[in-house]
């Protein structure tokens, strides 16, 4: 492991330990503190600490984004407290360690109303039995007799298996306290364990990392995911949460958020994922330094630049298309000349220029377009050209689409190939549908690389110490 990566992981772990320690304290009233304390459990569906800024306070995740929007609407400062697994979250909530919990929590009638209050569900999550594709498929719970199913320790999946009808011989549930859901599925993919139980959305994500995973059996019915509040929670805060969830469901914000995290994960075929993973081992190491240098120059994550390059050329520096674009980043001759590229087939020049071109496009998009939508639109413009992208933004309002949302623009850009739309535009006709497919593919490649490849943290520049007045003169300088 690289030293800088180890330091980043250590900082992230220390942050988690500190916030975990806060979970035993009873929180002050949200009215007095003007702060919303939310209990959560890190994971691919909830919250990934520092995922966007390599160790900073901000993070990413579907439920994190949703609760952040709620706190903003309520005029409260969000404080996220990470608390182990879902059972510990529930216990901490009962102790009053948070105003609410957002940790992919299932609400069902078996939970006493005196202990918790729940919002209207905002997601339905299925529970899938996962095995390696080379195994004989299990299609009924009766086939689990005498088998061992692995789960994350103290998870609701363990409770779900415990509630199955009695089998002879019984099913063995093996809990893993040190593993996350993705660790569990990696073990299945590597055939270190045979069976695991996980959430459907997590499997969708994991199959892009480990394409040999297969699920043939759903355990139980899909369950509703909701936010939980203590039984004695302030009714006004609960009402605010209900009103917020009702609004985001009605105005499409919830659908857009689901698309941001889950809308692209099932696009690639298994063969495409297998081929990409193979090339990350055989080809990517040859160009990693150039991608990292491009990040240092532009600030764009090297893994995103690499994902773009793979979509453009499959990391072939000699790639050439019938339209005349060439090289690793498939630059046109005009773009290459403008960026000072003397040889488009030189991967170092091509990668640097392609990254600078992407950064330039991103900077020219309207200020109202925020991240990550800004990056997805910049990638589309990389394929279409900025003029066509701006044409798409211009016609968006006439289609009742939000031009600041990538989710909305995904249905607008294909219209650029239809005469009734492109005839209105100076930029003319464009294959906007192809650009949408390209961006969604890049998002998957980027997700895979962020799972398998560490971030690059550029070294800090060495600052020479200025000689202080009074230092001895005559020292040799090297």
Active site residues: 312
Closest CA to 4 of 463, 455, 449: 455
Cα separation of 170 and 10, whole Å?
41
Paired with 127 in beta bridges are 199
Neighbours of 324 (CB within 10 A): 12
Closest CA to 63 of 86, 41, 85: 41
Structure tokens at 236: 């006004």
Closest CA to 229 of 85, 30, 13: 30
Closest CA to 102 of 56, 128, 71, 57: 71
Cα separation of 433 and 419, whole Å?
14
């Amino acid at each position: 492991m690289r030293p800088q990566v180890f330091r980043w992981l250590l900082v992230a772990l220390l942050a988690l330990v500190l916030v975990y320690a806060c979970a035993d304290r009873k929180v002050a009233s949200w009215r007095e503190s003007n702060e919303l304390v939310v209990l959560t459990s890190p994971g691919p569906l909830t919250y990934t600490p520092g995922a966007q800024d390599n160790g900073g306070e901000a993070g990413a995740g579907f439920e994190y984004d949703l609760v952040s929007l709620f706190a903003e609407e309520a005029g409260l400062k969000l404080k996220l407290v990470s608390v182990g697994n879902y059972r510990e979250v529930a216990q901490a909530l009962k102790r009053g360690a948070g105003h609410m919990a957002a940790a992919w929590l299932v609400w069902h009638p078996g939970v006493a109303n005196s202990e918790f209050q729940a919002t209207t569900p905002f997601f339905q999550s299925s529970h899938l039995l996962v095995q390696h594709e080379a195994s004989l498929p299990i299609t009924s719970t009766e086939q689990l007799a005498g088998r061992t199913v692995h789960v994350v320790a103290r998870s609701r999946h363990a409770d779900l298996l415990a509630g199955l009808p009695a089998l002879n011989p019984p099913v063995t549930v093996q809990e893993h306290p040190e593993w996350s859901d993705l660790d569990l599925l990696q073990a299945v993919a590597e055939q270190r364990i045979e069976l695991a139980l996980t959430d459907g959305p997590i499997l969708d994500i994991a199959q892009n990392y480990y394409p040999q995973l297969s699920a043939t059996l759903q355990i139980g019915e899909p369950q509703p995911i909701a936010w939980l509040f203590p039984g004695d929670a302030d009714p006004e805060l609960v009402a605010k949460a209900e009103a917020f969830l009702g609004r985001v469901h009605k105005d499409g914000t919830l659908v857009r958020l689901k698309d941001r995290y889950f809308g692209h994960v099932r696009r690639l075929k298994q063969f495409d994922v297998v081929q990409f993973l193979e090339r990350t081992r055989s080809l990517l190491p040859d160009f990693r330094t150039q991608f990292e240098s491009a990040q240092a120059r532009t600030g764009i994550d090297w893994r995103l630049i690499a994902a773009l390059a793979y979509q453009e050329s499959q990391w072939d520096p000699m790639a050439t298309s019938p339209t005349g674009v060439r090289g690793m980043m498939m630059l046109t001759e005009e773009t290459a000349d403008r960026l000072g590229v003397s040889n488009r087939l030189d991967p170092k020049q091509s990668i640097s220029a392609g990254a600078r071109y992407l950064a330039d496009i991103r900077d020219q998009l309207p200020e109202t377009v925020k991240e990550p939508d800004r990056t997805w639109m910049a990638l589309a413009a990389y394929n279409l050209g900025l003029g066509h992208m701006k044409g798409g933004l211009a016609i968006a309002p006439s289609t009742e689409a939000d031009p600041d949302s990538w989710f909305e623009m995904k249905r607008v850009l294909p219209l650029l190939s239809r005469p009734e739309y492109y005839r209105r535009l100076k930029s003319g006709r464009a294959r906007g549908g192809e650009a949408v497919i390209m961006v969604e593919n890049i998002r998957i490649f980027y997700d895979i690389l962020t799972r398998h490849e560490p971030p690059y943290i550029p070294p800090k520049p060495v600052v020479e110490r200025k000689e202080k007045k009074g230092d001895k003169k005559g020292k040799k300088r090297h």
